Structure 1
Amino acid sequence: MFNTKTLLEPMGSWAWWRSWLLIFVGCSIMGAGFVFFINPYNFVPGGVYGAGIVLHNLFPSIQVGTFGYMFDVPLMCIAVLVFGGKFGARTVLAALYTPGFMNILTRLVYPDEATVRSLDPALLLDGRLDLSNDLLLTCIMGAVLVGVGQGLVVRQQATTGGTDIVGMLLQKYAGIKFSTGILLADGAVVLSGLVVIGFGLGTDQPAEGGWMLTLYSLITIYAASRVVAYMLDGASYDKLLFIISDKHAMLKEFIIRDLDRSATYIKSKGMYTDASREMIFLVVSRKEVRLVQHKIKELDPTAFVVVTDAYDTYGEGFKQLPSADEIQAE
């Protein structure tokens, strides 16, 4: 998944420094999402920090970030032993920086040690950011921040460790798909949150409406995953157009001159007429689809057009082909 070639870039390279800066910015944004919108409301969005929230309810003297270290450091050591050099310095430092940042920020936004233990949202920033009556808004805001932070980190070919490593270990030793392994690990964390926070196992009493927090946690997981996918793949897919028309010359001029794109002729044959003709294969952005449709209607109202999504488009004018070690959203 990772290699060390990115560590060998020239120290003076702006791209090298920018990559590291974005990793720390991403980790900080993700940490802020947990501190302000996830931890105080006992949402359990999977991962090591979700497990840390569950354990903080059992052992309130230990911060969520500290539990992150307790999980991440052993997992990282196991991963290095099992997978060798696949985990670069970026992933190691991201995994070590994020829990520490969360702990420091938590102590800054709560007034004293007692409130750090309770993580009472009514005392967060002296009550100026208490969203206890708007839990849906809270979990969405937390998911957006966590997703943006993770997306920035993953774009730099790093991760924050955690359930990614669990997924890789399950894939290697249990033959379970990587995505399924992560789902199982996160699912176990969410269920532990339901047991501990929802039903109060091991605590003095269950949180008020605790079982509902599990539903908000699921919303948080889904929204964060969509934000990460947006960060990696963009807001929308490109569009594929298959055009059958008798006005090839005019459409060609429009595509090359006005759209500043190229297209491909595909030989086709009508099933009913048994006549051979050429079909135009064209890829455009979502914003350009309406323009192309209007132009086709203007030039040839009888044209046959099929528009469909292009999940990924690589090549000149679009994205570059990914390298072998590049992380994909899906």
Structure 2
Amino acid sequence: MKSQLAFKAPNIKPSDYVLIIVGSFLQALSYVLFLAPYKIVPGGVYGISIVLHYSTKGLIPLLPEGLPIGATALCFNIPLMFLAMKKIGLSSGPKTVLTFVLISLFTDSLSYILGEGTLVENDPFIACFYGGMILGMGVTCIFKAQSTSAGTDVLARVLANNSNLRVSDMIIAIDSTVVLIGLIAFQDWAVPLYSWFTIFVFGKIVEMLQTENPSRAVFIVSRKTNEMKDILVNKLGMRGTFLHGKGMYAGEEKEIIFTIAERKDLPRLKNEIKEVDPDAFVSTMHASKDSPLPGR
């Protein structure tokens, strides 16, 4: 059996490199220029890193200015990456590693060059609005490269795997917990209020810039239906429905699996299917609307 910790050979197009670099830089710019100076906690590992950065100021002799945000986030992302590879696999592994390493490098480099001063003095609303907007633009570039910046969405997928919990619900729960940690650390109700507004703006920008529906309808025709079910339910934490059909040529009875998948999960789904059944037929199309997964 192949180890789940092994990366597949990376297949990164030049355009993907450009998108990853631009997206990583935009995310770092958002953290350094807008969010961190106002102690805005946008959820995720960078939200935790911003809290730790300010909470450790003056506590560590070698780091009197506090833990660096980018390096701290990297320390969270590396174990989360290994956890994801072990528990759920990660077909975008090489791209994901490149992405979160670049964000960390850009964040600490920009912090060193620009310092911790605010771009706009005494206006946290402008900071959280433009911070969320630029963060959303960066994440959209990363998504278009079919990559991810790891972070707490990985933890959410692991926790939701093999359970009835939705990944989106877990992400909301984890990010809200991070925001509340910011409230406890800074003792200021403005922190969660501005932070949740940043998350709202970020989500709306990603939704607006994602020109394609993030969900795809997937039809799988295979003789190994039980193995396909195991891939969907136990490996990917997805749900589906069996459709009964008959081949037009030979009149053979067939079972077709129908499911809804996010576009970013399609490469891994197809790889898993082909490893089990190279002769399987997989067809995808745009889902007409976001709806609960079939069979839930």
Name 1:7's counterpart in structure 2. 10
The secondary structure found in structure 1 opposite 2:67 is coil
Q: Distance in 1 between matches of 2:267 and 2:208?
A: 16
What runs of 5+ residues in structure 2 fail to find an aligned partner?
Answer: 1-6, 58-65, 213-261, 269-286, 291-296
Deviates more, 1:75-84 or 1:178-187: 75-84
Q: Work out which of the residue numbers 124, 130, 147 in structure 1 matches 2:136.
A: 147
1:215 and 2:193 equivalent?
A: yes
Q: Residue 170 of structure 1 aligns with which residue? A: 159
Q: 1:63-74 to 2 correspondence within 5 Å?
A: 63-74=68-79
- Residue correspondences, number: 210
CA gap of 1:148–1:69, structure 2 versus 1, over 3 A, is: same
Residue aligning to 1:314: none
Rounded to whole Å, the distance in 1 between the matches of 2:26 and 2:49 is 18
| Shift of residue 138, structure 1, vs aligned partner | 1.2
1:78 and 1:63 map into 2 onto residues whose CA distance is 23
Return the letter of the residue paired with 1:35.
V
**How far has the Cα of 1:213 moved from its partner?**
2.2
Contact 2:45 2:152 in 1 (8 A): yes
Q: Aligned residue for 1:75?
A: 80
| Matched ranges for 1:56-205 at <5 A | 56-60=53-57, 61-110=66-115, 119-121=116-118, 129=119, 131-172=120-161, 174-197=163-186, 199=187
Q: Tell whether 2:33 aligns with 1:36.
A: yes
- Cα deviation, residue 86, structure 1: 2.8
Q: Deviations over 1:12-47 (max 9, x none)?
A: xxxx10111111111101110110000000001101
Q: Distance in 1 between matches of 2:11 and 2:54?
A: 43
2:89 is matched by which residue type in structure 1?
Answer: G
User: 2:22: which partner in 1?
Assistant: 25
Give me the whole-angstrom Cα distance separating, in 2, the residues matched to 1:42 and 1:149: 20
Superposed displacement of residue 73, structure 1: 0.7
Q: Secondary structure at the match of 1:66?
A: helix
Question: Distance between the aligned counterparts of 1:322 and 1:59, measured in 2?
Answer: 39
- SS in structure 2 of the partner of residue 7 of structure 1: coil
The whole-number CA distance in structure 1 between the counterparts of 2:87 and 2:8 is 20
In structure 1, stretches of 5+ residues that fail to align are: 10-15, 111-118, 122-128, 200-209, 235-320
- The answer to whether the Cα contact below 8 Å between 1:26 and 1:150 also exists between their aligned partners in 2 is yes
CA change 1:32–1:173 in 2 (3 A) is: same
Instruction: Verify the 8 A CA contact 2:143 2:264 in the aligned structure 1.
Output: no
What are the Cα deviations for residues 223-277 of structure 1, in whole angstroms up to 9, with x where unaligned? 001111112137xxxxxxxxxxxxxxxxxxxxxxxxxxxxxxxxxxxxxxxxxxx
Question: What per-residue deviation string (whole Å, max 9, x for no partner) do you get for residues 286-305 of structure 1?
Answer: xxxxxxxxxxxxxxxxxxxx
- The alpha-carbon distance between structure 1 residues 67 and 322, as it changes in their structure 2 partners (threshold 3 A), is closer
What does the per-residue CA deviation read over 1:57-85, in whole Å, with 9 as the maximum and x for residues that have no partner? Answer: 21132111121012101101111111234
In structure 2, the CA distance between the partners of 1:29 and 1:6, relative to structure 1 (3 Å rule), is: farther
TM-score by length of 2: 0.65
The residue number in structure 2 matching 1:233 is 211
Note the C-alpha offset of 1:133: 2.1
Equivalent residue letter for 1:67: T
CA 1:326–1:33: 2 relative to 1, 3 Å: farther
Q: Distance in 1 between matches of 2:123 and 2:161?
A: 42
Residues 24, 223 of structure 1: alpha-carbon distance in 2 compared, 3 angstrom cutoff: same
Partner secondary structure for residue 101 of structure 1: helix
Maintained 8 Å contact 1:41/1:132:
no
Larger radius of gyration: 1
CA distance in 1, matches of 2:264, 2:137: 22
Give the TM-score, by structure 1 length. 0.59
**CA distance, structure 1, for counterparts of residue 267 and residue 46 of structure 2:** 25
Aligned partners of 1:38, 1:5: CA distance in 2, in Å?
Answer: 35
Secondary structure, in 3 states, of the residue corresponding to 2:10?
A: helix
| Conservation of the 8 A alpha-carbon contact between 2:156 and 2:174 | yes
The alpha-carbon distance between structure 1 residues 40 and 322, as it changes in their structure 2 partners (threshold 3 A), is: closer
- Cα distance change, pair 176–108 in 1 and its aligned pair in 2 (3 A): same
1:51 to 32, 48, 51: 48
Query: Is contact 2:92–2:146 with CA below 8 Å preserved after alignment?
Result: no
| Aligned twin of 1:287 | none
**1:139–1:220 CA contact under 8 A, matched in 2:** yes
